[in-house]
Amino acid sequence: MSVNERIKEIKNIFNVFDNPMDKYTQLIEIGKNCEGLLDKDKNDLNKIYGCASQAWVKTIKQDNHFIIKTDSDTLIVKGLLNILSTILSKSTKEEILVIEIQDILKNIGLENSITSQRTNGFLNALKKIKESLDINVK
């Protein structure tokens, strides 16, 4: 499944909601149902700096693509990060490098549903993922 197909799947989840608060609630539900990271992976190497909450991202290289795992201490951020990992996991480096946060938020209909502080944290998460592609953290 391509990045665009994964974005479309997530967009379909949020399209049923007209009210931004309902979308926010859906993000929290996604956060509740996330697997998250093991405690040993919640470390400084994986920490997302510039995020209002404690948040982490782990990038794992598998053959010619990457698996993205995320976690946070707040459900809304955990939900947002899970969306990011769902979209980017199983993607190649080239596919990940061309992704822009505003495009993701706009395509799934969340650009007006989350605060600028959360958007900045989401941006920092994507930046960390892109930076980690060359490190190939295992």
Q: Which domains are present in the chain?
A: 3-132 (3.90.1010.10)
CB 32 within 8 A of CB 49: no
Catalytic residue ranges? 51
pTM for this model (two decimals): 0.89
pLDDT one-digit tens code per residue, 101-131: 778 888 888 877 777 777 788 889 999 999 9
DSSP state of 30: H
Output the pLDDT for position 106. 83
- The residue written with tokens 């650009």 in the block is 111
Report pLDDT for 91.
Answer: 95
Residues in the chain: 138
pLDDT > 70: what percent of the chain? 97
* pLDDT tens profile 78-97: 999 999 999 999 999 999 99
